[in-house]
Each structure stands twice: as C-alpha cells, then as structure tokens.
C-alpha cells in the first residue's frame, strides 16, 4: 500500500484552476520529484497535502487515513513535514531553539530534546551555530535549519520545496549530499520540488510532471526528459516540435 495516495485532487481560486484532477502515489522509501514550470501548481499541491488549504474535490490518504479537513499542525503530528520556498525561521529564537520547537510534536520520543536538537544540527551541518539567532544565519544555513526543524518532527514523509533556491554551486552540492543521506541511510521518504534540473534529476527516482495544475507525465527521470508534453511545457510548442 502507498504511504501517500492522492486521488483526483482539485483546487480553484476564483477563475484560476490551480490544481486539476491530480492523482499520484508515494511509496515508502521513494524520493519523488514534482516537476513543472513556474505557476504550474506545485506549491499549491504541497499546501493541499499538508492542510494549509482545503481542496475543492479529491482525496489525500496517508497510510490509509484521510487527511481531508485535518489542520496543518495535526498533519505534522501524523508524520508529514515540509520546508518552504522562502525560509521561515522563528525570528528571535536561536538556531537550537528553532529545532527544539519542532521537537514538541506527538511523534517525538520522550528524550532530552536539547541533546536531540544538537544531534540534528550536527546532521545538517550547523554544528557551532546553535546559539546564533536564526535570522542572522546566511541564506544557505537557513535552508539547512528548515530541514533540521522539519526532521525534528520525526516525519515519515518530508516535502522539500525548492531547497536549492538562492544557493551557490558548493552549497547545492552539500545539500544534495544531505538529502541523499536522509533518503539512503535513514530510509526517509521524500518529495522534492526543484528548478535546478540537473541536481533534481540526479536525486529523484520517479517524477510527476505538472503544468497548468494537471499531471502531464509520470515516470523515471530518463523518461520524463524525453516526454513531448514536458518539453513543450518548458521550451514551448514550436521548439518542442523542432526538438522532436
């Protein structure tokens, strides 16, 4: 059975059909990529999956349990954590305190939360910055803090929304290694949105491509890059016909 099952998910904002009849499956241990141009509906999809907004139609099931109508803070308690396109640290709190806040959910074992938070900071490469105010971190370090805070909730499924945005090549390489380690060594199931296509395709094992809110292709990275609809969505129909 799928860890996450999405069926015929639909969301409109007035005249904008942001997510249109989207269905997908995420199995335990997957690293699934969500691919699409700007405005395709990717982040709206994440918002629907995590309870930030309610769908107009469709179903979202986590390990057989419906998530419809469940608020975002309770979705986290069921095992889905996410990061955001724009970093959102808790301003005024230290890096360590930010991670400890993430440890207050019901899935976290009854352990020394401060010690656990230090281990998570070490895992994401923020050792030595525990007492720094979160808003004083570099943008790359704020990205790492977002991941540490999400991991602190003890997720079964981690949704990453453009984790490489605004990062240099060295930072991207290091963060790619972290994501691989989370997936391979800890067996964490991951969904990934990213516009850095080379790094994206090297990380994911399966891709769901969407455009104008609807799925236009599903398959391996090798299949997706040859999909005419995906090529058209990125470079336009005339160039897509030429490329074919």
Total count of domains within the chain: 1
Whether pLDDT at 240 is above 60? no
Whether pLDDT at 241 is above 60? no
Enclosing domain of residue 22: 4-243
Of residues 88 and 95, more confidence is placed in: 95
183, 31 contact by CB (below 8 A) = yes
Whether pLDDT at 142 is above 60? yes
pLDDT tier for residue 233 given thresholds of 50, 70 and 90 = confident
Instruction: List own/partner pairs for 182-187 with CB under 8 A and 24 or more apart.
Output: 182/151, 182/158, 183/29, 183/31, 187/28, 187/29
* This prediction's pTM: 0.92
Q: What is the CATH number of the domain that holds 160?
A: 3.40.50.300
């Amino acid at each position: 059975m799928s860890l996450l099952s999405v069926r015929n998910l639909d969301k409109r904002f007035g005249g904008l059909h942001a997510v249109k009849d989207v269905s997908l499956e995420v199995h335990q241990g997957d690293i699934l990529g969500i691919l699409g141009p700007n405005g395709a509906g990717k982040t709206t999809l994440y918002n629907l999956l995590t309870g930030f907004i309610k769908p107009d139609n469709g179903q979202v099931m986590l390990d057989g349990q419906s998530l419809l109508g469940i608020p975002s803070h309770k979705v986290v308690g069921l095992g889905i954590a996410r990061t955001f396109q724009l970093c959102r640290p808790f301003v005024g709190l230290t890096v360590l305190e930010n991670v400890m806040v993430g440890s207050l959910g019901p899935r976290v074992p009854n352990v020394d939360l401060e010690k656990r938070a230090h281990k998570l900071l070490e895992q994401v490469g923020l050792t030595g910055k525990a007492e720094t105010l979160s808003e004083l971190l570099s943008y790359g370090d704020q990205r790492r803090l977002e991941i540490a805070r999400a991991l602190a909730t003890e997720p079964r499924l981690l949704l990453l929304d453009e984790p490489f945005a605004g990062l240099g090549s060295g930072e991207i390489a290091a963060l790619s290694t972290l994501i691989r380690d989370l997936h391979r060594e800890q067996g964490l199931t991951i969904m990934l949105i990213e516009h850095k296509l080379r790094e994206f395709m090297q990380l994911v094992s399966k891709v769901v491509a969407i455009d104008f809110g609807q799925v236009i292709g599903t398959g391996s990275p090798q299949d997706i890059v040859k999909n005419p609809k995906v090529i058209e969505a990125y470079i336009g129909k005339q160039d897509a016909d030429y490329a074919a």
